[in-house]
Amino acid sequence: MAQHTSPQNRPCPFCSAQKADSTIHEEILCYANLANNTQKDIFLMNVNEYAEDHMCMVEQGEQAQVLTQSKIKKALLYAKALGPDYEGLFNSAGAATVNHYHVPFCKKKSPVWRNLEEQRVTITNAQQINQIVHGELSKNWVRSRFFKGKDLDELCKQVYWEVKDLQQKNIIHNCKFIYQQDGSFVWLMSPRLNGYMTYVYHFLEPVGTPEPGLVNTCGSIEIPGGDAIMFFELPDKLSAMQKQIMAQRFKKSLDKTCDRQWQPPCYKRYLDLTSNTSIESINCD
């Protein structure tokens, strides 16, 4: 299981934020806590924002970047508190830059939501268990598990049922989630082969340019959202053809990083559970 670590031998920025005399402490937007929580969470602004209202919920203390059922619930409750205009994301250890528990939020603009609304991406192998719909996004999108329902506790149990399997198998995962106007929550989760950072300059290079064998932080790809973050200026001219090439290369990068082999744990075993049984104690072998 991943532990709390400081990035690249630097002090952990999210631990530093808890110290009143630190520079990062000046980036705190507010503290927040839920009714049943005794410890306040920190909402930090992203000083290198690449989305509207780009902020980050950080738990106090030294917390590893690992989801639990209660952390999933907390993330979704904060999504509800921010409202349906916002989305949250979670990058597990191995994909996150900092291994201190944090959940970024920003205005809801990831194209995956639009694709779902316009039914360009659909839900395949859909099942409904205890009023929660789960399945997978269709194959014209990056592989992503899909969960939707209004019963928050039940949804969190079902999401964690799969998260725990990914954690046990050391599979990196990225998640996006929203609260919807109708009172339902949606959680998307993509298993990844690695924390692949693509060399995004390549997206803009002419047709026929060999794919580079190097990666760096000149950009980032967000799955399952379908966002490419390019850390350089928008070129003056982007022809329609160049946009299609960008998208084609982006799609290839998404495919390279996603794990299509992992199989979610059996739901038959999940259904065998009673309310008195902890899913921590169930082995799905």
Which of the stretches 128-136, 237-245, 263-271, 277-285 binds another protein when contact is defined by CB under 8 A?
A: 237-245
Binder of another protein out of 76, 77, 132, 188 (CB under 8 A): 77
Q: Is 53 in the site for another protein (CB under 8 A)?
A: yes
In sequence order, the 6+-apart residues with CB closer than 8 A to the CB of 230 are: 200, 203, 218, 219
Which residues in the 154-183 window bind another protein by CB under 8 A? 170, 172, 179, 183
Which of the stretches 1-9, 127-135, 155-163, 264-272 binds another protein when contact is defined by CB under 8 A?
A: 1-9
Q: Is 129 in the site for another protein (CB under 8 A)?
A: no
Q: Is 152 in the site for another protein (CB under 8 A)?
A: no
Whichever of 61 and 183 has its CB closer to another protein, that residue is 183
Count of CB atoms situated within 10 Å of the CB of 212: 12
Binder of another protein out of 70, 209, 244, 277 (CB under 8 A): 244
Paired residues of 90 in beta bridges: 175
Per the CB < 8 A criterion, the answer to whether 151 and 130 are in contact is yes
Q: Is 252 in the site for another protein (CB under 8 A)?
A: no
Which of the stretches 48-56, 127-135, 155-163, 271-279 binds another protein when contact is defined by CB under 8 A?
A: 48-56
Binder of another protein out of 206, 208, 210, 213 (CB under 8 A): 213
Binder of another protein out of 5, 60, 63, 97 (CB under 8 A): 5
- The tokens describing 63, both together, are 């917390």
Paired residues of 147 in beta bridges: 134, 187
Number of residues that bind another protein (CB under 8 A): 87
71 torsion bin: left (phi>0), alpha (psi -120 to 50), beta (else): alpha
The CA distances from residue 85 to 120, 168, 181, 262, 279, in Å, are 21, 34, 9, 32, 33
Per the CB < 8 A criterion, the answer to whether 198 and 219 are in contact is yes
Q: How far is the CB of 120 from another protein (least distance, A)?
A: 5
Per the CB < 8 A criterion, the answer to whether 56 and 67 are in contact is no
Q: How far is the CB of 66 from another protein (least distance, A)?
A: 9
Q: Is 54 in the site for another protein (CB under 8 A)?
A: yes
Its sign, for the CA torsion 43, 49, 54, 59, is negative
Whichever of 53 and 129 has its CB closer to another protein, that residue is 53
Q: How far is the CB of 38 from another protein (least distance, A)?
A: 12
Distance, CA of 130 to CA of 189 (rounded, Å)? 19
Which of the stretches 124-132, 157-165, 225-233, 275-283 binds another protein when contact is defined by CB under 8 A?
A: 225-233
CA dihedral angle for residue 72, residue 160, residue 110, residue 49, rounded to 10 degrees: 40
Tell me the CB-side half-sphere exposure of residue 281, using CA atoms within 13 A. Answer: 7
Which residues in the 109-128 window bind another protein by CB under 8 A? 109-111, 114-115, 120-121
In sequence order, the 6+-apart residues with CB closer than 8 A to the CB of 47 are: 27
Whichever of 61 and 83 has its CB closer to another protein, that residue is 83
Whichever of 69 and 99 has its CB closer to another protein, that residue is 99
